[in-house]
Amino acid sequence: MPATAQDATEDTPPVIHLIGVPVQDGTHEKGCLMGPDALRTAGIRETLEGLGFSCIDHGNLQPHSKGEQGAPTIAPVGKANHFDRISSWTRTLADISYQLARTGFPVFMGGDHSLAMGSVAGVARHAAEQGRELFVLWLDAHTDFNTPSTTESGNMHGMSVAAFCGLPELAGLYEPSLEHPINPANVHMMGIRSIDNKERELLRQHHVKINDMRVLDELGVIRPLMELIDEVKSKNAMLHVSLDVDFLDPDIAPAVGTTVPGGATLREAHLIMELLHESRLVTSLDLVELNPFLDHRGKTADILRDLTASLFGRTIFDRPTRRPGPRHGSI
């Protein structure tokens, strides 16, 4: 029997659950459905097992058919491309995310960023059952807080945060209804450098915490990240990390269809992951928007593998941790 999240201790790390989510209905660019297999080819499982973790690869998820997904989707007013299909993915993934979070540390390998609508919803349900809040660290060039009435493109990977925060225009994605929406003030974004005009006002209204690239340029990554870590710790909360390839500068990580120049450096990204590991607060992870069709000899897949390894404790040289030991179900 695998160790459960509740069983995990300082001496028994949680089981890592890898699950592929080959969704690309949320974006206009074809190719990111190959992302999970590119991460496998890059050796993500072997790398994590080499760090001493028990790692189970559950293969690639497939969405429920219309007859299996419960109540019919209710299309919103406005633009929401492939709403029915995204709803099928979201409902399926919310269920499996909840199950995997109960029995270890889930790593969701995408696929476009619409997968976070389901992954975060499921992890939030598990957190609520533990009597804990869930915080989300959103590492992305985009804030993804659009709704069908504010979006310029209609692409639903740009609505993920609005969906799992419970904005009513996107309620039809979930069945049953989203019982544990994330408090928008618990969403901390880093690396932002592209926000739609109408989206900007929504972010202000809902008090989402945004550290755009100017903040990172002026302060570095340590100060805003430590503010998040201290807040999560003070509330005995859980922390979900959602890493979009376009958080990184496209010169470093080219395999993404939504490139925005001026992103984070590789060293900044590794530092974030190393500090998160030392915090022992992270309980789940998204790896999204990897498009192997746009990659250069697997370069970006290798980077995501290595960043994941840093999150799980790989270092160049051992050093004392900055934070207390691990919490149950965290790394």
pLDDT at residue 10 greater than cutoff 90: no
- What pLDDT was estimated at residue 12? 77
198, with CB counted inside 10 A (0-12, 13-18, 19+), is middle
Q: Tell me, what's the pLDDT at 66?
A: 60
Residue 25 and residue 92: Cα distance in Å, rounded?
Answer: 15
Query: How is residue 111 annotated by DSSP?
Result: S
- Lowest-pLDDT choice from 73-87, 135-149, 185-199, 289-303: 73-87
Which residues are catalytically annotated?
113, 140, 142, 144, 157, 244, 246, 289
Q: Which residue do the tokens 């022992």 mark?
A: 280
**Listed range (1-5, 110-114, 172-176) with the worst mean pLDDT:** 1-5
What pLDDT is recorded for position 6? 41
CB atoms closer than 10 angstroms to residue 188: 22
Residue 330 above 50 pLDDT?
A: yes
Can you give the pLDDT at residue 231?
98
Q: Strand 55-60 and strand 282-288: pairing?
A: unpaired
Pairwise CA distance, residues 129 & 127, whole Å: 5
- Among residues 244, 273, 305, 253, which one has the least CA distance to residue 114? 244
d(CA 295, CA 258): 13
Residue of 67, 78, 68, 207 lying closest to 143 (CA atoms): 207
Among 243-247, 271-275, 289-293, 315-319, the range scoring the smallest mean pLDDT is 315-319
Q: What is the pLDDT of residues 228-242, one digit of tens each?
A: 999 999 999 999 999
Mean pLDDT along residues 39-45: 98
Residue percentage of the chain with pLDDT more than 70: 90
Q: How many CA atoms lie within 13 A of 46 on its CB side?
A: 6
DSSP state at residue 107? E
Q: 164 with 116: CB under 8 angstroms?
A: yes
pLDDT at residue 65 tops 80: no
Residues in the chain: 331
Residue type, 89: W
| Helix axes of 222-234 and 266-279: crossing angle, nearest 10 degrees | 20
With H, G, I as helix, E, B as strand and everything else as coil, classify residue 220. coil
Position 7 scores a pLDDT of 41
Residue 3 has pLDDT above 80, yes or no: no
pLDDT given for residue 259 in this prediction: 85
Separate counts of helices (H) and strands (E) for the chain: 10, 8
The tens digit of pLDDT for each residue in 184-225 reads: 999 999 999 999 999 999 999 999 999 999 999 999 999 999
Q: Is the pLDDT of residue 76 over 90?
A: no
**Mean pLDDT, residues 293-313:** 97
Contact 287, 27 (CB under 8 A): no
pLDDT of 26-38, one tens digit each?
999 999 999 999 9
What does the pLDDT average to over 281-307?
Answer: 97
pTM of the model: 0.92
Query: Which alpha helices (H) appear in the chain, and where do they start and end?
Result: 35-41, 44-50, 83-102, 116-129, 160-164, 197-206, 213-219, 222-234, 266-279, 299-311
Q: What is the pLDDT of residue 56?
A: 98
Q: Does the pLDDT of residue 9 top 60, yes or no? A: no
Six-digit token string for 235: 């509330």
Mean pLDDT of the chain: 92
**pLDDT for position 327:** 52
Mean pLDDT score, 293-298: 94
Output the pLDDT for position 67: 52
pLDDT single digits (tens) 130-142: 999 999 999 999 9
